[in-house]
């Protein structure tokens, strides 16, 4: 049944979807037959034939209306042992009443317009879900498994195991999560991350199931079972999003039977007042009561939230932000503070050389040759900075946790922590202090008795970090950074980004305690993180955002997932949640305004039943179309 008249819980399993799809086709066919019969009745002058055609129209076109109104109300009331009517009851009684006073044409027109409006509403709702449910069609089904004898066979994706090697041809869909072991290519990851630009991938790079290989053939080693892939996680998020309702939708669903019951109680009183007010004219009084039943029906009110929320969810899904349901998106609008993890969330997560102060630059080749022997992140950063390929016959010994020693032409060179060096000069020490005050990691290069270079490295902020912080501050939302780094390092980064509150030296177990403290001061607190150590804080927060480039556990416990590293997606999500709230409020005011208008007009001007139906159902369509505006991207 349609959103505005749901009387049963939302179930989105495969069997329900199939039944609903089949039922929708049947309702459409019966509605079409009803229209044909109604038109034929217009051109037949025989009264009793017209009557039969009109009543048949009511039965056929109104089949799903009557079923939802009477059958579903009876079933739900019996189940809950309390009278639980839905909005369809009012429409069914309106049509029945029109037949009783021999307004057969009016009864048929009422049902045709009401049923037609709700078929359109069902169509609008399914359209608003299109961006999300289209992911189901992207699910990979087959893979080219490379056997031990190099033979390639087609297998079902569900039959793949961790460690299997699959061949992915140019133009093929990557069947499962894994990493490239042979070849280089360009991958379209838009279905997973929302990134519009393809990404270059080579050996050891991770690829995701459901993405498209655009250029060259690659071999991929499977790293996850098919049911554990990012794509599978997204589909689980989708199912949750379609099942979960916002607070407004839950409230409307809760008050619907109460509202309808009140209307049904008022209707006899309305009849009596009309009867005595019209000098005991029962037919007109009954007609006005039927108009009241239809005009007072809160159909548009019930459609104020769900189509709009699904439209907002689908827009965000298309742009790489997946919410686990409408309630979480609605909660985003209420946040008063937002806390960020530092490393990997606000920052790139990899060190970058920011300063090299030379005291003996002639030894640069020795430094590069030493760093080439290590895969430590600091070594990789130094090599990326110099961009030189030096080959020297140098012997290198690692010094775990401190640095490394290199032996070349009888000289022992050292690169690593300042503590490895003996009595550095005051200039060197002052340089170190300046760099550390800027939140940078400092390493020395030279011989133990003399420093040849002081190197400063820093985990740099992401491209959109500053603009994201500025946006939330402009909305008077308190910004916080929670970091395990030293207070000096945290404050240097936080100050550069303009963050309101900086909390450093935080142990992983303490992050969730900080969220509890922040909630005492700000009530609704969002948390953004990417690591295992962020998971408890994500759970404790009012709404948790996980970065997909982080860990699976963060994605599992968060309420929403950013499918790439673009922090601007947080801004987009907040803007969409704000617009959703505005649209829902607009819809509710408009819907109740129309109900009051129809009731008052009926009392004062004796409005026609057909005009009541046009205005009433027209308001429902206006509400739905207003919600569908959220399908359009918000910049």
Q: Catalytic residues, which ones? A: 341
- Backbone φ and ψ for 457, nearest 5 degrees, come out as -125, 150
Q: Could you tell me if 320 and 545 are in contact, meaning their C-beta atoms sit under 8 angstroms apart?
A: no
Is 598 strand, coil or helix?
helix
Separation between Cα atoms, residue 274 and residue 289, nearest integer Å: 8
Within 10 Å of residue 427's Cβ, how many Cβ atoms?
Answer: 12
Helices (H), ranges, 103-229: 104-128, 130-133, 190-193
> Which helix (H) or strand (E) segment is 338 a member of?
strand 337-341
Beta-carbon contacts of 268 under 8 Å, excluding residues fewer than 6 positions away, are none
180: region left, alpha or beta (phi > 0 left; psi from -120 to 50 alpha) = beta
| SS3 of 421-440 | CCCCCHHHHHHHHHHHHCCC
Which residue in this structure is represented by tokens 């030296």?
Answer: 505
- Residue 163: how many other CB atoms lie within 10 Å: 9
| Cα–Cα distance measured from residue 475 to residue 575, given in angstroms and rounded to the nearest whole number | 10
List the one residue out of 479, 405, 402 whose CA is nearest residue 443: 402
* Cβ atoms of 10 and 306 closer than 8 Å: no
Distance set, CA 512 to CA 145, 428, 491, 517, 531 (Å) = 44, 40, 20, 9, 13
Distance CA 436, CA 430 (A): 10
């Amino acid at each position: 049944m349609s959103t505005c008249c749901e009387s049963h819980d939302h179930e989105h399993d495969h069997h329900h979807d199939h039944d609903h799809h089949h039922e929708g086709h049947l309702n459409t066919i019966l509605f079409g037959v009803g229209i044909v019969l109604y038109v034929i009745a217009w051109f037949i002058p025989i009264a009793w034939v017209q009557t039969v055609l009109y009543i048949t129209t009511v039965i056929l076109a109104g089949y799903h209306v009557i079923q939802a109104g009477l059958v579903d109300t009876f079933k739900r009331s019996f189940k809950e042992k309390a009278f639980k009517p839905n909005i369809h009851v009012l429409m069914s009684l309106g049509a029945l009443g029109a037949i009783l006073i021999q307004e057969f044409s009016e009864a048929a027109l009422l049902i045709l317009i009401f049923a037609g409006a709700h078929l359109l509403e069902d169509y609008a709702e399914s359209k608003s879900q299109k961006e999300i449910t289209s992911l189901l069609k992207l699910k990979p089904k087959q893979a080219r498994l490379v056997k031990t004898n190099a033979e390639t066979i087609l297998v079902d994706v569900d039959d793949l195991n961790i460690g299997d090697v699959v061949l992915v041809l140019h133009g093929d869909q990557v069947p499962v999560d894994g990493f490239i072991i042979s070849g280089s290519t360009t991958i379209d990851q838009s279905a997973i991350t929302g990134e519009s630009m393809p990404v270059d991938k080579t050996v050891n790079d991770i690829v995701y199931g459901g993405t498209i290989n655009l250029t060259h053939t690659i071999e991929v080693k499977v790293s996850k079972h098919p049911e554990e892939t990012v794509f599978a996680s997204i589909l689980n998020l989708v199912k949750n999003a379609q099942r979960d309702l916002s607070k407004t939708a839950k409230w409307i669903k809760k008050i619907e039977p109460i509202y309808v019951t009140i209307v049904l109680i008022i209707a006899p009183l309305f009849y009596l007042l009309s009867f005595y007010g019209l000098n005991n004219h029962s037919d007109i009084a009954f007609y006005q009561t039927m108009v009241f039943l239809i005009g007072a029906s809160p159909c548009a009110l019930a459609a104020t939230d769900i189509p709009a929320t699904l439209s907002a969810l689908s827009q965000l899904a298309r742009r790489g932000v997946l919410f686990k349901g409408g309630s979480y998106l609605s909660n985003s609008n209420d946040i008063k503070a937002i806390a960020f993890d530092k490393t990997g969330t606000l920052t790139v997560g990899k060190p970058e050389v920011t300063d090299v102060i030379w005291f003996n630059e002639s030894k640069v080749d020795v430094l590069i040759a030493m760093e080439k022997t290590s895969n430590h992140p600091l070594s990789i950063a130094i090599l990326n900075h110099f961009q030189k390929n030096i080959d020297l016959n140098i012997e290198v010994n690692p010094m775990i946790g401190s640095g490394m020693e290199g032996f070349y032409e009888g000289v022992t060179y050292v690169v690593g922590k300042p503590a490895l060096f003996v009595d550095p000069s005051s200039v060197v020490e002052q340089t170190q202090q300046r760099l550390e005050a800027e939140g940078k990691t400092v390493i020395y290069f030279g011989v133990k008795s003399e420093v040849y270079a002081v190197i400063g490295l820093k985990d740099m902020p992401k491209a959109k970090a500053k603009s994201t912080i500025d946006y939330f501050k402009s909305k008077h939302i308190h910004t916080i950074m929670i970091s395990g780094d030293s207070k000096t390092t945290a404050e240097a980064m936080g100050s550069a980004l303009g963050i309101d509150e900086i909390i450093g030296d935080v142990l992983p177990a303490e992050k969730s305690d900080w969220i509890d403290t922040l909630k005492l001061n700000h009530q609704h607190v969002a948390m953004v993180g990417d690591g295992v150590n962020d998971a408890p804080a994500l759970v404790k927060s009012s709404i948790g955002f996980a970065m997909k480039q982080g860990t699976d556990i963060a994605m599992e416990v968060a309420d929403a997932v950013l499918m790439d590293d673009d922090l601007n997606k947080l801004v987009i999500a907040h803007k969409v949640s704000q617009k959703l709230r505005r649209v829902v409020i607009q819809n509710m005011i408009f819907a109740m305004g129309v109900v009051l208008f129809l009731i008052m007009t009926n009392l004062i001007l004796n409005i026609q039943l057909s005009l009541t139906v046009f205005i009433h159902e027209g308001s429902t369509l206006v509400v739905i179309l207003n919600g569908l505006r959220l399908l359009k991207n918000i910049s």
